[in-house]
Amino acid sequence: MDSLKKKEKKNLLTTKEQACTRQFCFFCTMKEPNSFKRRAGISACFKELPHREDQGNVLVLSSLWNVAMAHPEDPEFPSLGIFECMVRFIHKGINNKSNTWLQRDQNIYIPYYAAHVIGSYTMNKAEFAEKAVASGVIPPLLELLRGKMSWVEQRVAVRALGHLASYESTFVAVAEYEEEVVRLAMKLASTCLDAVYVSFVGVKDERKRQKYHCDLLTRGVGGFEMENRKAEEWASQLQCWCLYILNCFACKERSLNLICNGDFLKQLCGMWGGLANQSSPAGVGLVRILCYGKYGRKKIAESKEAIESLCNLSRSSDDWQYMGIDCLLLLLKDPNTRYKVINMAASFLIDLVELKSLGDRSNVGEAITKALLLNKLNKNRRIEKYLEEVWNLKVERRRKERVLSQEKNEESRVLVDLIKQEANHMVCMGEIEGAIIKYSEALEMCPLGLRKDRMVLYSNRAQCQLLIGKADAAIRDSTRALCLSSPVNSHSRSLWRRSQAYDMKGLAKESMMDCLMFINGCIKSGSRKRVKVPYYAARMINKQMDATWLFATARSKMATSDDQDFQAMKEVQVSEGRVNLYESGNDKQDYHDEMRRIMMEKKGLSTILEEPLIQPEEESRRKMERTKKM
């Protein structure tokens, strides 16, 4: 018994010796059982933390970030001064001219966590957003948005500003910096993918990547490939959050003269977020907001690239297909934009007139039919032909079929089936053009109510169009088949046929979407537990994913630019009779490293890296190699 008491006493002494002696320790304060003392202690911690040179600050900020992400609606920390604390930390990071504070004790992580905490707490609650604005969060967030640090901090800064701009009560505070915020968001949305590729994804040597970026992206878990995947996801989020903050201004019809810039609208069509961020409508979401206003519709109608993008979207299996259709209908219903859009939109929308529902929208085909027939007096011969087809299909044929008896409909169905079999036989015999004529004859006779039969006929005709290389006709027929399928865009053969047709046209994104839907249908219909993806579909996916990769354009630009600059530099050296230092096997890599170093110095980032862009040992080795060659 005595030995047990001695042991307990020894353990107690050890615990007291190991107890934290730090004043205002956040973690010790969180363990305080008395709620009043705990709240008072947390409030004191928030006031003292930014003024304290403590290597544990990054752990506190990381913990606060975790709490904010897990419990964004908990009022405790916002009521105790967390926003003021985060503001001071961001100011400390961006106002430190020598950057010595950022270089110490992993402090470089702190501005990122601070901005993230602000964004997480202002995500759902307007009252938290009001407290954040009153605490002065907007100026430091704007400093991060201007690029005072890097794209990683810009991502969380624009996210937080987007939340603040989404509430009526705090929008006014953001709008005080309206022109700058809009211009920064537009510029960042247009250039962020290039910036992320040049500064991170395009850096193939892991040692030359910023270590704190790698750690934030993967939390220390995962290698090179994981870093690239997360960087793609974050770059997509950065672009989408920039577009979201532009949405907030466009909804209120503010700064439209800036947002509706012709060059920006062209770029907007290509901003789709990639597969890494499927929850955001990205560019098309902003286009739809613009289409709700008269000025926005006028500018969209003047952009050929925007209309073409909306037309392609309206005939795709993309989740945002309905947005493309909505935009075109808004433009067609406006007398001021109708005649600018109809010439291109009619040939696309005519394929969707038999669409019943799309998502939670019903009678979509009827709405399209009415919008098209508003232009019935159009004198363009091509448009007249399309509108006449719509009139015959949706008005004349429907009127005739209403008075037909059930026996007549059955006779028509039997006759259509016979013609279809004859067409199928002609396909087997290689008489493709003859089969197309037969399928067209069957479609003319097939009652509109037999949607499944019409779906098969359109799909088979689409296959024939593919066989003779008519991609446009194949897209039209397969789209009509998919409109007749139930649910919409679910007929596997039509999806695959349209995917091939889009591939022939060079529309990689649309082809990939259809192919993904096709594979999804194969998996769902598979009776076995283990379903094999058809090799031809897997090959198509690989091809289109490379073409639609979020950084595909940035990769192409960087390769072209580097080759041109490298060749120009060599020509200058030769013309001036200087010794060419870039004759080693890694000459282009050396040149890329030098260019990247110069770019980083211009941005003022090289001084805050935890390790140099080129390691001393590596640089010494290169100098030795060059000296030998000289």
Instruction: Report yes or no: 455 and 489 within 8 Å, Cβ to Cβ.
Output: no
What pLDDT is stored for residue 584 in this prediction?
41
Strand partners, 358: 361
Phi-psi label, residue 123: left if phi above 0, alpha if psi -120 to 50, beta otherwise: alpha
Whole-angstrom CA distances from 217 to 68, 120, 371 are 18, 17, 48
Report yes or no on 222 lying in a domain.
Answer: no
528 pLDDT band (50/70/90 cuts)? Answer: low
| 461 found inside a domain | yes
Q: What mean pLDDT do residues 349-376 have?
A: 91
Residue 393 has pLDDT above 70, yes or no: yes
- Token couple for 42: 């947390």
CA 214 vs CA 46, 206, 209, 538, 548: distances in Å: 28, 9, 7, 31, 24
Q: What is the mean pLDDT of residues 110-121?
A: 95
3-class DSSP state of 364: helix
Structure tokens at 621: 């080795």
Burial classification of residue 58, based on how many CB atoms lie within 10 Å of its CB (0-12 exposed, 13-18 middle, 19 or more buried): middle
Question: In angstroms, rounded to a whole number, what is the distance separating the alpha carbons of residues 79 and 274?
Answer: 38
pTM: 0.83
Mean pLDDT (the chain) is 85
**Reported confidence tier of residue 196, pLDDT bands at 50, 70, 90:** very high
Adjacent-strand bridge partners of 362: 357
Residue 603 has pLDDT above 50, yes or no: no
Contacts by 551-558, CB closer than 8 A, 24 or more apart? 551/193, 551/196, 551/197, 551/201, 551/202, 551/232, 551/235, 553/193, 553/194, 553/270, 554/193, 554/194, 554/196, 554/197, 554/198, 554/202, 555/197, 555/202, 557/194, 558/194, 558/197, 558/198, 558/202
Q: Is residue 209 part of a domain?
A: no
Tokens of residue 377, six digits: 């007096």
Specify burial of residue 524 (Cβ count, 10 A radius: 0-12, 13-18, 19+). Answer: exposed
Mean predicted confidence (pLDDT) in 409-418? 91
Query: What would the two tokens of residue 329 be?
Result: 């209908």
Alpha helices for 80-210 (secondary structure H): 82-94, 100-103, 110-121, 126-134, 138-145, 151-165, 168-175, 178-196
CA 321/CA 313 separation, integer angstroms = 5
Return the CA Rg of the chain: 31
Three-state SS for 32?
coil
Does the pLDDT at position 594 exceed 60? Answer: no
Residue 95: both structure tokens together: 């106002």
Give CA–CA dist 66/391, Å, rounded. 60
Residue 261 pLDDT more than 80? yes
513 in any annotated domain: yes
For residue 418, the enclosing domain spans: 411-525+534-545
Q: Which CATH number fits the domain that encloses residue 521?
A: 1.25.40.10
Q: For 274-285, what is each residue's pLDDT tens digit? A: 887 778 899 999
pLDDT at position 571 is 58
Does residue 44 belong to any structural domain of this protein?
A: no
Strand ranges inside 346-439, DSSP E: 357-358, 361-362
257-264: long-range pairs with CB below 8 Å, 24+: 258/179, 258/182, 258/183, 258/186, 259/182, 259/186, 259/286, 259/290, 260/290, 260/295, 260/296, 260/299, 260/300, 261/186, 262/299, 262/302, 262/303, 264/186, 264/190
pLDDT digits (tens, 9 = 90+) for 165-183: 999 999 999 999 999 999 9
Looking at residue 295, what is its pLDDT? 96
Classify residue 55: in a domain, yes or no: no
Domain count, the chain: 1
In a domain, 182, yes or no: no
* 431 domain-assigned: yes
